Amino acid sequence: MWWNLENLFDTLDDPSTNDSDFTPSGKLHWTEKKLKLKQLRIAFVISAIEKHPDYRRFPDIVAVCEVENEAVLKATMAKVPKVHYKTLHHDSPDIRGIDVGLAYNPKTLAPTGMKTYCVPLEGRPTRDIVVAGFTAGGRPLHLVLNHWPSRAFDTRWTEKKRIAAATVARAIVDSLLQRNPQADIILMGDFNDEPGDRSLKETLGSSFSREQVLSEPDTYLYNCWDGHDGEGSYRYRGHWEQIDQMLVSSGMLQKSGLRLDSKPFSCFAISPMFPSNSKYPWRTYEKGKYSGGYSDHLPLLLKVRTSP
C-alpha cells in the first residue's frame, strides 16, 4: 500500500522544523482531538481493505509520505486492529518536517536494511529517497520510496527538481540491477508528475508495456497504472491525476518467485473517503480550514505473490 497521508503531524512544536502551524496554538489549531480522529480514519481505511472481497487481508506493507516522525506513524499504525505493525522512518531535510515512512507486518516480512539518498537541489531541500530491503517468501525484495518536489507555483519551473529526483531514483535502480539483473524492485511514491511526464517517462524509464520492460529490463520499469480504468489518486481542478504511482522491475513480471498477481493494481476508494456529493477526496484541511477528512490523496494497492 502507498498513501500520501496529507500532513500527519503530531501536536508538538519541533524547533528544528517549520511545523508551528500544526500545533494547538498555531495557524491551523491542530489539537490532540483532531490528530486522533485522523489516525482513526487512516486505521479505518486500512481495516476496510481487510474487509474488501478483493483483498480479505491487511496490507503487509504500508508505505506513506507526509508523516512528521516515527512516533506519530507508530501511534497511528497501533490503531489498526489485529496486525502488530513495525515501522521504519527517516528524518528528511524537508523544512516542514514531512517525511517518508513505512510500516510492515513482521509475520510476513523480515527487514534486511534501510538506506537513504539525498536529492541535490539548489535552495529549499526536498525529501530523501528511502530504500528498504526485506525478505518476503524467502526472497529479497527492494522498496524504493519517493516523495518528489511539488508542482507549486509553476509546473514547468519546478520540473527540473523532479527530474533531479528521478535521476537519483534511476541510479538506485541501476545499482540494484547491476548487482542482480533479476532483482525484485518496487518503486512507490508521490512523484508529483504523471506517467507521461519527462521525469517518469524519459529519466526513470516508466513504461505501460510489459513486453518492453521484459525485453529491455535495464532501461524500463513497468508502471502499474497500465490499463487502469477510473479515478486517479489526486483530483485537481476537476481532473483526476495519476501522480501517486507504483512501478516494478522486470523481475516482478516473471512467472516464478516474487511476482505481480493477476489484476494486481488498484486505486482504493470507498464512499466514506468522499464528502457528500463530491468527487474530491475528503481532505483534513480545505483551503486552510479544518474539514476533518482522511487525506487529499487516495491510496494505491499492489498484490504480489510470494509462493513458488
pLDDT at position 300: 98
- Element (DSSP H or E) covering residue 302: strand 300-305
The per-residue pLDDT for range 273-305, each reduced to its tens digit, is: 999 989 999 999 999 999 999 999 999 999 999
- The ranges of the chain with pLDDT < 70 are 153-155, 308
CA distance 67 to 100: 7
pLDDT at position 154: 67
Q: What are the angstrom distances between the C-alpha of 151 and each of 45, 116, 154, 158, 243?
A: 27, 23, 6, 6, 11
CA distance 122 to 124: 7
SS3 at position 244? strand
Pair type for strands 285-286 and 289-290: antiparallel
pLDDT at position 202: 98
CB-based contact 133:120 (threshold 8 Å):
no
CB-based contact 26:85 (threshold 8 Å):
no
Pair type for strands 289-290 and 244-248: unpaired
The reported pTM is: 0.96
pLDDT at position 155: 64
CB-based contact 106:61 (threshold 8 Å):
no
Instruction: Provide Rg for the chain, Cα atoms.
Output: 18
